[in-house]
Structure 1
Amino acid sequence: MTRVDDPISTAIAAAPAQNDDTLLGDSWLLGFDTETTGTKRDDAIVSASLVLRNPDTGFEGDTVAEWLINPHHRMNPAASKVNGFTDTFLEQNGEEPTQALANIATAITMAQDKGIPLLAYNAPFDVRMLSGDLGRWNLQGLPERLLVADPLVIDREISHRNGKRNLAHTTEYYGVDPHGDFHDATADTIAAVDLIQPMSRLYPQVGALRLGELMDWQRQAHERWLVSFNQWLVSRGRRSINDTWL
């Protein structure tokens, strides 16, 4: 991938390199979120946001990049109700997908090369959507081995709380005030990135996770959650599910 000359790429290039010993609580992060035409694997991204977070400056020092994309794919009416996008609006205002998707993937790859985790709430959804779109348009894919931080997986492992665990409820639990409305890609990205510091304060073991152990820790946490969730499903006469993280 070639580097694009834009603020997010410039900021990533200027960020320090990190290594396996970097602590999650001290780490730079590249937040990522998408809004899509639907939730199926053949759906497409209509908007995306990347937020580079310097742990020393917090929200005030964020570098933000946003994309509005014409997916050349019909909006699912249910998804349109949630994110507010219509086919007509996207056709008239969206960027062509090839350049937008290439720029997103380039920025993520640059951050990965510096050891900066890609942070996304329920990360498999956004990563798989982006990978699907890159493949659909015959673009270079993401690195094979991604370093990802997923606040949903982390929260399930440490908080053991009742109630919903969507982004809105989780940010409320950790005392995070959103910057904008949920189901806006940028507001959701910032909210997800904002979770790491209060998680680290309330549960110091989160901030003490080293980047070199982060992926295995999250995979194991997801597996433990899945066992518990499937036991709950079966106890209510429902089928268990097969589900993998990244």
Structure 2
Amino acid sequence: MSSDPALPSWLSRVAVFDLETTGVDVETDRIVTAHVGVLDAKGREIASRDWLADPGIEIPEGATAVHGVTTAHARAHGRPVLEVVADVTGALRSLLSQGVPVVAYNASYDFSLLAHEAMRHGVDPLSSPSPIIDPLVIDKAYDRYRPGKRTLEVVAAHYAVPLEGAHDASADAVAAGRVAQALARRFRMPETLEALHTQQIGWARSQAASLTEYFISIGRIEPEESLDGTWPVRS
């Protein structure tokens, strides 16, 4: 008989969100593709929307190598980025207003970049989205000393979650949602979404502080520098 915790009722229906972008700087890089979906308790996607944007800037070859979208393809087939930013922000705002938690892997990246895009294009941003579930933050909190990388591909494999087509916004979003459900079955989670959201704020802050110390020790950043641990939208 398994002693693993049952799936909390608040994880029986979750939204999933992922962006593929022109780069990794949340302040200056742009959205290329986006996915927002909804999973049921068995991890099946029961609703979804995908967007392809013309980001308005060149898509670097390095970014294209990750997600497969070229500048020419985005210009020919993508919607104006203003429309995409407004649509994605509106879809997430609607789900959150209904109390549906949104799962995003490394949420502070996707939500921060979306917020900067919103401000850039005159869209009302999601300044304090809640409730958010971030499998990266949760996995680091519950299994802190596990060696190895914590990319979505690696963590999904660790929890036996299939991930085909990594760095496709749809595949990554769905896999992140299923990892969140796997984590909830493996570890005993807080009783409410609100408690989990609040705990993740603290976990993300302490994880950033720990990583800051490590990066300083190996000379990757200067002693006076620090990583921003604000979650789910960086300050």
TM interval, shorter chain, is 0.7 to 0.9
Distance in 2 of aligned mates of 1:201 and 1:145? 25
- 1:45 is matched with 31
Aligned partner (choices 92, 96, 106) of residue 122 of structure 1? 106
Instruction: Report the CA distance shift for 1:196/1:27 in structure 2 as closer, same or farther (over 3 A).
Output: same
Structure 2 counterparts to residues 137-148 of structure 1, below 5 A: 137-142=121-126, 144-148=128-132
Aligned partner (choices 6, 12, 31) of residue 16 of structure 2? 31
Q: Which runs of 5+ in 1 are unaligned?
A: 1-21
- 2:142 is matched with 158
Larger displacement relative to structure 2 (138-147 or 87-96): 138-147
Percent of residue pairs identical:
29
Cα offset, 1:224, TM superposition: 2.5
Letter aligned with residue 68 of structure 2: G
Distance in 1 of aligned mates of 2:89 and 2:96? 10
CA contact under 8 A between 1:43 and 1:73: conserved in structure 2? no
**How well do the aligned residues superpose, as a CA RMSD in angstroms?**
2.0
- 2:60 is matched with 76
Distance in 1 of aligned mates of 2:127 and 2:86? 13
Distance in 2 of aligned mates of 1:83 and 1:150? 21
Larger displacement relative to structure 2 (158-167 or 138-147): 138-147
- 1:58 is paired with a residue whose SS is coil
Distance in 1 of aligned mates of 2:119 and 2:200? 26
Instruction: Report the CA distance shift for 1:237/1:177 in structure 2 as closer, same or farther (over 3 A).
Output: same
Q: Is 1:135 aligned with 2:89?
A: no
Instruction: Report the CA distance shift for 1:223/1:62 in structure 2 as closer, same or farther (over 3 A).
Output: same
Letter aligned with residue 80 of structure 1: T
Between the two proteins, the alignment pairs up a number of residues equal to: 220
Cα offset, 1:237, TM superposition: 4.2
Instruction: Report the CA distance shift for 1:76/1:28 in structure 2 as closer, same or farther (over 3 A).
Output: same
- 2:69 is matched with 85
TM-score (norm 1): 0.82
Cα offset, 1:227, TM superposition: 3.2
**1:104-153 CA distances to partner (integer Å, 9 max, x unpaired)?**
11111111111111210001111111112222221222254432111000
**1:53-110 CA distances to partner (integer Å, 9 max, x unpaired)?**
122x431x52111001111111122212211111111000101222222221111111
TM-score (norm 2): 0.86
Aligned partner (choices 130, 136, 152) of residue 167 of structure 1? 152
Distance in 1 of aligned mates of 2:205 and 2:120? 30
- 2:194 is matched with 212
**1:171-222 CA distances to partner (integer Å, 9 max, x unpaired)?**
01101012x310100000000001122212221x23x441111222001112
